[in-house]
């Protein structure tokens, strides 16, 4: 009964569009809802081609993600995430590798552009009312993408291991220490026995200060975990755009 109430709810139906009983209709619906088979639209409404409606901001954000992936992989060939080498490697890349400075700047500027574009994209979606049903689930996926984009930007900031990186992450992780319940300096931390040795800041840094452990953690998050999560969320995001009838149209 409770299960039925859940599967009949608007929240559930906004994510799963077909029922589970083994009927010919449900079987065909499972196929047509398959993301792999349906990344390309069957038809393209003329209005959807109007640049001024979307300014292709989502597409441009995705393009920046691709630029970040390609330049990021190339940067990994020259960078070692240990305090002895991180800063030196960036300088060596800039001054001894052909197009090294260009490569590093491309990664840095495309990263900034991605943060700005994702915010503008969100603003466009909001102003055109495209968060409304049936697109409410895709809005939630979008919010997750926004958080992951900001985390990618934050974790990348530490990697050059220069003064600005060190102090930015010191400030940022001190903010984590001020989180309610989970930070040792935050309100209600005593409820769960949280102290500086087991709080949110310690989890992020792997230590009580910004040092070698933090550099390694941020490197793994920045180069492996967060890009994989972002890629998966984008896959779901694009599939939902299709399944929600393509992008919304001007009224
Ligand atoms: C890395 C981040 C993101 C990427 C790569 C991305 C990509 C895209 C793309 C390519 C589209 C098709 C239309 C267009 O280009 O504007 C789209 C649509 C959409 N996005 Fe995003 N997006 C991202 C983040 C977000 C965020 C932060 C939100 C909102 C919180 C959001 C909500 C939506 C919604 C609701 C649609 C459907 C809009 C419509 O039908 O008009 N997305 N996204």
Q: What is the pLDDT of residues 9-31, one digit of tens each?
A: 999 888 887 777 888 888 887 77
Do 72 and 223 form a contact (C-beta atoms < 8 A)?
Answer: yes
Residues 6+ apart with CB under 8 A from 171: none
* Angle of CA points 198, 203, 206, to nearest 5°: 100
Q: What is the pLDDT of residues 200-247, one digit of tens each?
A: 999 999 999 999 999 999 999 999 999 999 999 999 999 999 889 888
Tokens of 9: 């709810």
Confidence of residue 7 (pLDDT cuts 50, 70, 90): confident
Taking residues 57-72, report their average pLDDT.
98
Q: What DSSP element (H or E) covers 200?
A: helix 200-205
Point out the ligand 1 atom lying closest to the alpha carbon of residue 62: 5
List the domain boundaries for the chain. Answer: 53-243
What pLDDT score does 250 carry?
Answer: 77
Distance (Å) from CA 124 to ligand 1 centroid: 9
Q: What is the pLDDT of residues 166-211, one digit of tens each?
A: 999 999 999 999 999 999 999 999 999 999 999 999 999 999 999 9
* Alpha carbon distances (Å) from 36 to 79, 117, 183, 205: 35, 26, 42, 38
Whether the pLDDT of residue 49 is over 70: the answer is yes
Does ligand 1 lie within 6 Å of residue 239's CB atom?
A: no
Confidence of residue 36 (pLDDT cuts 50, 70, 90): low
Does ligand 1 lie within 6 Å of residue 130's CB atom?
A: yes
Q: What's the fold here for domain 53-243?
A: Cytochrome Bc1 Complex; Chain C (1.20.810)
Count of CB atoms situated within 10 Å of the CB of 142: 21
pTM confidence score = 0.88
Distance CA 75, CA 238 (A): 28
What pLDDT score does 50 carry?
Answer: 86
Does ligand 1 lie within 6 Å of residue 64's CB atom?
A: no
Whether the pLDDT of residue 39 is over 70: the answer is no
What pLDDT score does 79 carry?
Answer: 98
What pLDDT score does 219 carry?
Answer: 98
């Amino acid at each position: 009964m409770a299960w039925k109430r859940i599967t009949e709810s608007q929240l559930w139906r906004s994510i799963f569009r077909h029922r589970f009983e083994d009927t010919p209709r449900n079987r065909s619906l499972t196929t047509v809802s398959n993301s792999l088979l349906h990344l390309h639209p069957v038809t393209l409404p003329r209005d959807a081609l109007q640049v001024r409606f979307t300014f292709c901001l989502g597409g441009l954000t995705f393009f920046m993600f691709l630029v970040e992936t390609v330049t990021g992989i190339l940067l990994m060939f020259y960078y070692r995430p240990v305090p002895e080498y991180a800063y030196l490697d960036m300088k060596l890349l800039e001054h001894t590798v052909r197009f090294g400075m260009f490569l590093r700047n491309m990664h840095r500027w495309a990263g900034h552009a991605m943060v700005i574009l994702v915010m503008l994209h969100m603003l466009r979606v909001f102003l055109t009312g495209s968060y409304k049903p049936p697109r409410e689930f895709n809005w939630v996926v979008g919010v997750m993408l926004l958080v992951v984009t900001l985390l990618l930007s934050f974790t990348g900031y530490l990697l050059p291991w220069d003064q600005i990186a060190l102090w930015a992450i010191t400030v940022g992780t001190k903010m984590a220490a001020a989180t309610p319940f989970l930070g040792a300096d935050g309100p209600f931390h005593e409820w769960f026995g949280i102290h500086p040795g087991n709080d949110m800041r310690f989890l992020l840094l792997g230590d009580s200060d910004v040092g070698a452990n933090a550099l390694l953690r941020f490197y793994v998050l920045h180069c492996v975990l967060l890009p994989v999560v972002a890629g998966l969320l984008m896959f779901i995001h694009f599939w939902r755009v299709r399944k929600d009838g393509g992008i919304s149209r001007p009224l």
